[in-house]
Structures are given as structure tokens and as C-alpha cells.
Chain A
Amino acid sequence: MPPPALSRPLPPHPLRAGTALAGLTACLFAALPVRAQGPSLAVEDTMTTEVPEVLVRAPRVTLDEILDRVARGEARRDSLLKDQSFTATLRIMRNTAGKGTPELLAESVHKVYKKKPDLIRTVRLRVYEKYPEKDGDGMAEADFSPGMGERIVNFALQPENRRNYRFTIEDRKLLGDHLIYTLRFEPRSSLAVSEPSGRLWVDTREFVIVRQEIEFRQSPVPLFLKSIKRMVVERTRTGDFWVLSRALVRMELTIPMPRIGKTFDFGMSFTDYTINTSLPDSLFESTDRPDRANRVRVGSGKRSGS
């Protein structure tokens, strides 16, 4: 029921009319350009409106509940994925900070097909290297695993890791009908100064992680790596699923390395997703593939290749 006081007309009052006139005059004078008194000030004219208040009596969801639901949301997301394909781009840029112009050092593009339980086919589409090597893997050579769990996004919430991190709610945002929580995580151990900490953006509509920023208090390998300046992991929505769209990291070395320099970026982007399109098994006929632990790996599991 609307408040009756607001709908009742106010009776005329002699003082109110005079005050209004004086106010109007003051406004007119204030609006006139007076060069000697400095710049004129704009008046905020944004239209405002009143809405009736709604008192919500439901208890606010706790942090533990959020973490549980995110872990379940991530597990549910993984369980619903049957197969997927995407185009993966790995890129290494040098001279990305300080003097000098950023320069592409290596880039590779692969088409990756995955199907549960452990099928994978990787098709190399393009490789560029500024300094190609005759033997050995290229700088941007990639090796993918059949897993679709995207541990790079949810590693802090994995059962074996969750107890090692302290989580806090840093922010909440109501955006349309999405409630976005920003959760901060950091290692519980103060000894773990070189382990990652950061922020997770969680969409509570599906309780999935939609973005992550990672930072390192101290370098994990200070002898060679001065700092990891910034690391961002983003997801994008494809159909009903949130999928890894890119991971970017900028690193600074203690001593300039030949061909690499002192600062470099490493970027992975994943585009052109198709999900649950019933990829045929014939696409994945198994092949003998060597174990390549030294390659960049995304996810985990058994591999076969193109």
C-alpha cells in the first residue's frame, strides 16, 4: 500500500512562495556567465525516481556455501561436456614493457577436438617463429590433454587445493538478473609467498567462474624470474557453457635472455568453440604419441594426437 502522505496535495503557504521565488532568482544569477569569478559549474539534471522499498528477509548465502556451490557448479559443467572443439592460439611476445616495441616471438594455431572419456586430436594449422630451430619443439608448440575441466580456472577450488587457500568475499554486483561475487583467494600458509593468489569472479546464476586474476607476492624462481606482473584468465559463454577463452601472463626476467629480452608476454586464446556436437570416434583414431612433459599443457590426462 503506497504511503498516504505522499499522495496528499500540500496546502499553499506564503513563505513557501517567497522562498521559491528567491531560489529561482538565485539560480538565474548562478546560471549567468560571470567571467571574473572563474568557470561556470554545470548543474546535475539527471532524472530520478522513487521506487517502493522491498525488505528481503532471506539469509545471505555464506562464503562456504558459495565455494561449495562453485565447486559443484564447476563439476556439473564438466560432467555435461561430452565433446568440444576449438581453435587454440599460443603467442609469445617480447619487449612488452619498458623501452622497445612489442614484437611477436612465436605463435602457433591449432584446432583441437576432444571427446570424453579421453579422446583428443590436435591439428596444427599455423606456426610462426622468429628464430626457428632445426630440431626440437618450437617455443609455441602446444600439447593439449583430453580433460575439459579447465583446472587453470578452478585450481584453487579443487578438493586437494581448497584447504590450502583462504577465501574472502571482496565484492558483490547485481547486474540485471546476474549476481556476481568477486572472491579473493590467497594461500593460507605465510610460507607460501611464491604461490598464486588472486580474484575469482563468480556468476551465481550457474555458480561458475567467469574470470580470474592471479598474482604472485614473490617470484617462484627469483634467480631467473623477477616477477609475474599480471595474469588474467577469462571465460566466455558458448551456448549453455562457460569455456576458457584466454589466459594472458606478463613476466619479467632478472637478466635479459638472448632472443627473449627482459619482459615477455605469454598468451593463449581459445575461439570457435563447438560443444556437444557428437564428434565421431573416427576423428580420433588413436596414434602413438610420445610423452612430452616439457610442453605447455592445458588440463590433464592421456593424450593422442593428429
Chain B
Amino acid sequence: MPWRTAGDSAVTDSSRATARDSSRAPADSSFDSYMHGLSDSTDTWFGATATPLDTTGLDSALAAALALPPGKQLRRTDKGFPIEFTPAPGYNRADGAQLGVGASMSRGIPGRISGRAQYTTGTKDVIGDASWDGAFRLRKSRTRLALRAAVGRWTEVADRDSYDPVVTTMASLVFGGDLHQYLRRDGWRASARWDRDRVWAALAWRDQLESSLPFTTDWALFGSQELDTNFTAAYGRVHELGITGELPVPGTRFRVQAGHWTSAPKWGSAFDYNRTLVAAGGDLSLGKHFAFVPQASYGRLHGEVLPQNPFFFGGAPNVRQLDRNEWSSAGRTFGRADLMLVDDLHELLHLPLPAWMPLHVSAFVASGAAWGRDPVTNQARPTKRDWPNSSEWLSETGLTLAWRTGIPDPTSSLRFEYTEPLGATGRTARYTVVYQQPLHLLRMR
């Protein structure tokens, strides 16, 4: 047959006999027998799971159910109390332990109403919120609109760019390793998020009274808190508009995220600032075994520099040679590139490791700078510069051994890193343990 090439294969055995006499058989018979052959092999492989359904009694059950008006056949969970309760524990070094309960209801209403109330053992206060959220798919399009509104009293961190509540709480509880600064926010906030395919945009508004919190804890399971003070947040009611979004770079696997938050006295806000953050990153495949993962971010704060709105510098989110949030600044830029071996080390090297511990290695180089910073206190102060001086850059290189757990994201890993500073910084090499994803600078959601 001249239309057959080397890539073509012969008809399978099961259909060959039929195909041989196609002039007499129906046109579909060889196709049908081929499909049945594939299906039969699936049956054999899956065994009992693939056995046909026992249809006994289904007709009468259907007739009985259809005799009822729609909506009268309820599930078990539709019959009980309409509100679901969950425990809401927490811990941070400002509030101490947070003991409380959460509740949610979604039956009979569009969207979901949820609430949470917690008693804080350190500040002896009650915090919590009530919120409504709903998601709607716009008809005849792949567009989704998600709305959320919440009112309440929250304890939040000053570093709004990178905060993982689970990891921070664990670190704080176990060895006191919580280097975040906390503040109180009372008021309400609302947001609308539009997304389609790989593009999304969100608009948010908040009206909150911001105030400082004391440091109340000195206990950890293995030691005491590393940081024994909490910063003093500027007091005032903030009215802030936030616009965030993400776009893919066409033809690549790179993404760009951008966010702009603005607060102005003309809106009744006590503070006047404009805060912008842009981040980009993606991955390039180098054969089947390596991935090159570059990422970068740039942040700039114009207007009032408050203790609770600067860019924090140091630690897991950027340069490893500084402690977490050791510096704060009105401008920050950071870039990092990882060369990752994507194969699981235990398969590659035949290591006697359990399957739940896939290990990956990578090497990285990183560089970043924080400007608009007091050189003595290393705290943020206003600046007119939009780019750092050459002397303000800190660079480093290192190796990572990552244990990929897949929680909450398939790429999430517990990373053990060795970092060597580059240049004459006077700093020494460091070992760090962080829990994050490879593209950790693209954090806006």
C-alpha cells in the first residue's frame, strides 16, 4: 500500500481477519472490532472495577424518583442542620494562641456565608470575621467571576507580599522562628476577580482601621521566640484600592503579574501612598531532565512610607544571606534563576528511599537590592530613586535539595539550601530550610 509509511502499523490481530474481507463485511466492522479490542483489554486490566452495572431494580427506583417533583429527593447532608462548624485554631507571636470556631452555610443561598470567631490568649481579645463569597460562570464563555466581601477584626502581617500562615505558625510553634511583624486591622474589604483561561484581573477595596499589636509570647516547643518585640504600626483608617492581575507571555510559559495599591486622603484615608509590585517568571525545558527557572520582581513605594506598607528584604522570599525581613525599604528588586534536575533522585540513583520522598537537586544564582532604606536601622524611608545603586546589590549562589511533597501545589517542596554570598559582602555561607514552590515570586492570587 503506497500510503503506508514506516510510522504506520499493521491492523491488530483481532481485526485482521475482518479487514481481509472488507468487500463483504460492513465498512465499520474492522474499526468496531479494533475499538472493542482496546476496550476488552481495559476490562481485563481493571478487572472487577470494569464489570457492567447490575441494573436490577433501577427502573422502579427511577419511576419512583421521577414521580416526586424536582428537588424532593434529598441527599443525607441536605436533611441535617444547614450550618457546618469547624475548629479554628491558630498561633502567632503577637496574639499568642487563637482558639475558636468557624461556621459556614451554603444551602439555600447563592454563594456561601462563612464566619470565624477566635479568642486570643496573649492579647485576651476576640478576633474574627463574617464573609460572603460566590463564584459565577458567565454564560457561553469560559469566563468566571468571583466576588467576596468580609467584615471583621483581623491580625495580619506587615509583609503583604509573601506570607504563608501554615508554615509561619508551625515555625513559630516549634522553634520560635517567626520573624513577621503583626498589626490589627478592623473594618471591611471586598473584591471582585475576573478570570478566563490563564488571564485574571482583580479589583479590591478595603476600609480598615490599622493599629499596632504587642508582643505577647515567649514560648516555643523547642526554645523561645527568635524575635522578642513587635513593631509599632502607624495608627489610622486606610481606604485602599487594589488592582492586581496576571497575563501569560504569548508563545512562552512565562507569566507576568502586576499589582498596584493606592490610598489617598481624598478618599477619606489617613494615609497617602502608591505601592506597585511587578513580577515575572517561567520555565524553559533543557531536554527532558533539566528545567531552567528564572524569575524576577520589582517593587516601588511612593508617598508615605509606613511601617506596615514597605517592601521587606531578606530570607525565604528573596536573598538567603539575610534573615527573614531583616531589612525594609521603599524600593526592592530581586531576581533568581534555578537550574533544576527534574528527575527524582531516588529513581535516578537507585537510592533506598520511600516513594513519598521524591528528592530533586538544583543550583541557583540570585541577586537583589533594597533601596529607600536607612543604612543604620535598615528600615524603610522615602526615596526618589526608582533603581538601586550598584553598591546596594547583594548576590549569592547555592545548591538546593528539595523534597517535593505536592501540598498544596504539585511543585511545593521542603527545600534545604546552601547559600554562598558573592562579592565582598562580609557575610558567610548559610544553610536554610524553606517551604515553597519554584516560582515563588509569582504569589499574587
* Interface positions of A (Cβ within 8 A of B): 53-56, 87, 89, 91, 93, 96, 102, 104, 109, 111, 117-118, 121, 123-126, 135-138, 141, 159-160, 163-164, 169, 171-178, 180, 188-191, 193-195, 201, 203, 210-211, 218-227, 230, 232, 234, 246, 248, 250, 254-255, 265-267, 269, 271, 283-288, 290-291, 300-302, 304-306
Contact = CB atoms under 8 A, between A and B. Distances in A.
Interface of B: 2-4, 7-9, 11, 15, 19, 22, 25-31, 34-35, 38-39, 42, 45-50, 52-53, 57-58, 61-62, 65-66, 68-73, 75-78, 80, 106-108, 111-112, 137, 139-140, 142, 197-198, 251, 253, 283, 285-291, 293, 340, 342, 344, 354-358, 404-407, 410-411, 438
B285 A306 contact: no
Given A93-B48, A104-B48, A306 B71 contact: yes
B77 A136 contact: yes
B31 A234 contact: no
DSSP majority for the B interface? loop
A237 to B, nearest CB: 9
B253 A164 contact: yes
Contacts of A191: 283, 285, 291, 293, 340, 342, 411, 438
Contact of A222 (B111, B404, B438): B404
Given A124-B65, A211-B38, A222 B355 contact: yes
Given A176-B30, A210-B35, A223 B405 contact: yes
A220 B411 CA distance: 8
Contacts of A123: 62, 65-66, 73
B11 A175 contact: yes
Nearest to A284: B70
Contact of A135 (B52, B80, B340, B357): B80
Nearest to B344: A218
A229 to B, nearest CB: 9
A226 B356 contact: yes
Contacts of B30: 175-176, 178
A246 B49 CA distance: 11
A177 B7 contact: no
Contacts of A302: 137
Given A109-B58, A177-B27, 12 more contacts: A96-B47, A126-B61, A135-B77, A164-B253, A173-B9, A176-B28, A189-B253, A191-B285, A218-B358, A234-B38, A290-B78, A290-B108
B167 to A, nearest CB: 15
A104 B253 CA distance: 43
Contacts of B77: 135-137, 290
B415 to A, nearest CB: 15
Contacts of A290: 77-78, 106-108
Given A173-B11, A191-B340, A283-B70, A141 B75 contact: yes
Contact of A53 (B2, B29, B357, B358): B2
A53 B4 CA distance: 12
Contact of A188 (B15, B111, B253): B253
Given A125-B62, A194-B406, A175 B107 contact: no
Contacts of A56: 2-3
27 contacts: A53-B2, A55-B2, A56-B3, A91-B49, A96-B49, A118-B139, A124-B75, A138-B76, A159-B142, A171-B7, A175-B19, A175-B30, A189-B291, A190-B291, A191-B411, A210-B35, A211-B38, A222-B358, A222-B405, A230-B45, A232-B42, A234-B42, A246-B50, A255-B356, A271-B53, A288-B107, A290-B108
Given A87-B53, A123-B62, A188-B285, A221 B407 contact: yes
A123 to B, nearest CB: 4
Given A109-B58, A126-B61, A254-B356, A135 B49 contact: no
A191 to B, nearest CB: 4
A26 to B, nearest CB: 30
B280 to A, nearest CB: 16
A226 B347 CA distance: 13
Contacts of B407: 221, 223
Most buried by A among B8, B68, B142, B356: B356
A254 B271 CA distance: 52
Across the A-B interface, the 6 shortest Cβ-Cβ residue pairs: A287-B71, A160-B197, A221-B406, A190-B285, A265-B49, A254-B356
Given A136-B77, A189-B291, A191-B291, A176 B29 contact: yes
Contact of B112 (A87, A160, A250, A291): A291
Contacts of B108: 288, 290
B49 A93 contact: yes
A189 B70 contact: no
Nearest to A132: B76
B355 A305 contact: no
A248 B49 contact: yes
Contact of A160 (B2, B25, B142): B142
B2 A305 contact: no
Contact of B342 (A87, A137, A188, A193): A193
Nearest to A193: B342
Contacts of B357: 222
B137 A178 contact: no
A221 B408 CA distance: 9
Contacts of B197: 159-160
B75 A222 contact: no
B410 A137 contact: no
Contacts of B73: 123-124, 306
Given A190-B289, A191-B340, A121 B75 contact: no
A50 to B, nearest CB: 12
Given A190-B289, A306-B70, A300 B46 contact: no
A138 B355 CA distance: 29
Nearest to A125: B61
